[in-house]
Structure 1
Amino acid sequence: MPATAPSSAYARLVLRITDARTGALVDAAPARRGLTRVEVHAPAFDTTNLRVLLVADLLVRALELGGTPVWALLTGGREEAELRASAAALGIRPFEGSRDVSAGLGEAQVIHVVGEGGVEPDGVRIAVAHVDPAAPAAPEGTDPIALRLALLSRRRDTPARLDAAVLADAGAALAHWRRAVAAWAHRPSRPIPDEVRGQLRAAWEDDLDVPGVLRVLRRVENEPDLPDGARFETYAYADRLLGLDLTRDLGTPA
């Protein structure tokens, strides 16, 4: 993947998401400079609502990577404490708990993140497909970040099933990438090729296509002409969105 100058089209990329109310793609960042409020609606404690929080976490990360200030808050139910604890284990950053804290901040955009068939607030709405309730519980000792990767591997509008095989595959992929990143870190640093950076951004700016981001990372891993130092920087950069703690094993022997 040779380094190329970023195209004028890439320079104009902006995060666009599908509004569940209309089915149309809309800009997630406000047209005028200002704050975006991300409001998460998760009324119960289950894996589907945990997925709702994960999608909101991705949205916040993507907006921040694009330079948009974000205020994120959670409207939960009676099991909100349990939901927040499980979200923290998955690397989901905390959400504010009261809509009053955003009063007077002058947000220019409000985006609601909801589960399919849940509340239907006015305004731009991101709908998240369910996680199969018949799926067995994660085996004891499962890395919570492997669960995060398993959920990230499916588009948010596609139902997910988290059986033992899916979680085992995600855990193996996560361990493999962490070992690879730790090994690449021993090589001289090299910049991310502009083409690769553009592919990553084009994927996540296109309706939060995280599976597309993961495909780019797999190509980067197997590109024979790319220096290991550039692979490391690429994975570290993408992990600012993915939140998989891919650099966790830095400092281990090569």
Structure 2
Amino acid sequence: MPARGRPRAYAHPVLRITDARTGEPVEAAPARRGLTRVEAHVPGFGAGSLRVVLVADVLLRALELGGTPVWAVLNAEREHPQLRAGVAALGIRPFEDRRDVGSGLGEAQILHVVAEGGARPDGVRIAVAPVHSEEPGIPEGVDPTALRLALLSRRRDLPVTLDAAALDEARATLVRWRRAVAAWAQRPSRPIPDEARARLRSAWEDDLDVPAVLDVLTWVEAEDELPDGARFETYAYADRLLGVDLTRELGTLA
């Protein structure tokens, strides 16, 4: 549900996101569609840092889906090869190192994604709640996309507990959805239903509410009247935001 006092997403055709400095919603994309820099601030390696960069990655994807040119920058207090390796394993795009970039490149807006209680840069700040996990990074033997889904299954302003139950649930969901997508792909393609597209866009444009996006996919999966081809196109479209490889099993069914 939208936070009290927050304008409903359908009243604004662009992504609006809460600025942690003011508690007020701001437009994440400038009206003139100029370059937007998304800068992730992390102290080093750890599950919380991976979540910060993951939120930045999803924000970049949402902006691109809305037609906004973006630039990804990583601002780490210290270089850590494990952080870069974890970012890559989670399917997060490469971020440029903050120490290697200059200023004055004509950004229309800079969005700073930060851990709660962490860095406090000037400008719009998007705060990410902590991760409670016994492992600092990706647990051994865990599908990184299952970890990605587990981290995305909670709103970014709520803490995440990465335990065996959460990871097993994410893995089981991915197995079910990937098998369903592979089966739906064998049916004639159909356009994404208007209601499904509108609900997806309303979800992620309303303060980047990724759990609401997952709820839409659950609805699409269960809605009897939707053609399988439309289900497939909806899941493929949503995965452009989620990045959990929902089409991985295509061609595996006899």
TM range (shorter): over 0.9
The CA distance in 2 between the partners of 1:55 and 1:147, in whole Å, is 13
Residue in 2 that maps onto 1:4: none
Q: 2:217 aligned with 1:217, yes or no?
A: yes
What is the CA distance between 1:137 and its match in structure 2? 7.4
Residue in 1 that maps onto 2:115: 115
What SS does structure 2 have at the residue aligned with 1:125? Answer: strand
1:172-211 paired onto structure 2 within 5 Å: 172-211=172-211
Residue in 2 that maps onto 1:52: 52
The CA distance in 1 between the partners of 2:15 and 2:138, in whole Å, is 33
What is the CA distance between 1:47 and its match in structure 2? 0.1
1:28-177 paired onto structure 2 within 5 Å: 28-98=28-98, 100-101=100-101, 103-134=103-134, 140-177=140-177
Aligned residues: 246
| 1:159-207 per-position Cα deviation (integer Å, ceiling 9, x unaligned) | 0000001101110101110110001000000000111100000000000
The CA distance in 2 between the partners of 1:136 and 1:100, in whole Å, is 27
The CA distance in 1 between the partners of 2:55 and 2:95, in whole Å, is 13
Aligned CA distance change for structure 1 residues 170 and 66 (closer, same or farther; 3 Å):
same
| 1:63-92 per-position Cα deviation (integer Å, ceiling 9, x unaligned) | 000000001100113343211110111111
What is the CA distance between 1:44 and its match in structure 2? 1.5
What SS does structure 2 have at the residue aligned with 1:161? Answer: strand
Q: 2:18 aligned with 1:18, yes or no?
A: yes
What SS does structure 2 have at the residue aligned with 1:107? Answer: coil
What is the CA distance between 1:28 and its match in structure 2? 0.2
Q: Which has the higher contact order (CA 8 A, sep 6+)?
A: 1
- What runs of 5+ residues in structure 1 fail to find an aligned partner? 1-8
- What runs of 5+ residues in structure 2 fail to find an aligned partner? 1-8
Q: 2:240 aligned with 1:252, yes or no?
A: no
Structure 1 letter corresponding to 2:148: R
The CA distance in 2 between the partners of 1:212 and 1:132, in whole Å, is 22
The CA distance in 1 between the partners of 2:137 and 2:239, in whole Å, is 26
What's the Cα RMSD here?
1.7
Aligned CA distance change for structure 1 residues 77 and 136 (closer, same or farther; 3 Å):
closer
The CA distance in 2 between the partners of 1:28 and 1:137, in whole Å, is 29
% identity of equivalent residues: 73
The CA distance in 2 between the partners of 1:26 and 1:136, in whole Å, is 33
Comparing 104-113 and 59-68, the one that deviates more:
104-113
Structure 1 letter corresponding to 2:116: E
Aligned CA distance change for structure 1 residues 115 and 139 (closer, same or farther; 3 Å):
closer
The CA distance in 1 between the partners of 2:105 and 2:138, in whole Å, is 40
The CA distance in 1 between the partners of 2:211 and 2:137, in whole Å, is 23
